[in-house]
Amino acid sequence: MELRELDKHRLKAFQLISEERDRQISLDKKWTTEDYKLVVLGEEYGELCWAVQENFNELEEATHVAAVATHIIEDILKEYEPPTERV
């Protein structure tokens, strides 16, 4: 597979993840603790395992797993982001 083909698939994957994150945000779920996010991630991972085994809805479930993991990464990055200076 050519690099351009890989780039196309990667961009599509990131687009799907971003759309799912937007959907999650629109649901206004307050995932206030890291523990709860890990519970959701585990639940989504379980659904992905089932989807792969049943050969049904793998893309959607993989996107959910990636979006929840992205949420966790976003929160970690916020913790390490230096405060912006106000002028």
Q: What is the pLDDT of residues 18-61, one digit of tens each?
A: 999 999 888 866 666 777 889 999 999 999 999 999 999 999 99
* pLDDT tops 70 at residue 87: no
- The pTM assigned to this predicted structure is 0.81
Greatest Cα-to-Cα distance within the chain, rounded to the nearest angstrom? 57
Tell me, what's the pLDDT at 29?
65
- Mean pLDDT score, 2-23: 88
Q: Kindly tell me if the per-residue pLDDT of 1 is higher than 70.
A: no
Rounded CA gap, 74 and 65, in Å? 14
DSSP state of 29: -
Give the ranges where 1-87 is alpha helix by DSSP (H).
Answer: 3-26, 34-54, 58-80
Asked, for residue 34, whether it belongs to a domain, the answer is: yes
Q: What whole-number distance in Å separates Cα of residue 41 and Cα of residue 55?
A: 20
Q: Which residue segment(s) compose the domain that 46 sits in?
A: 3-80
Residue 87 lies in a domain: no
Within a domain: 73 = yes
- Indicate the number of domains in the chain: 1
Q: What span, in angstroms and rounded, lies between the C-alpha atoms of 61 and 44?
A: 7
67-81 pLDDT, tens digit each: 999 999 998 898 887
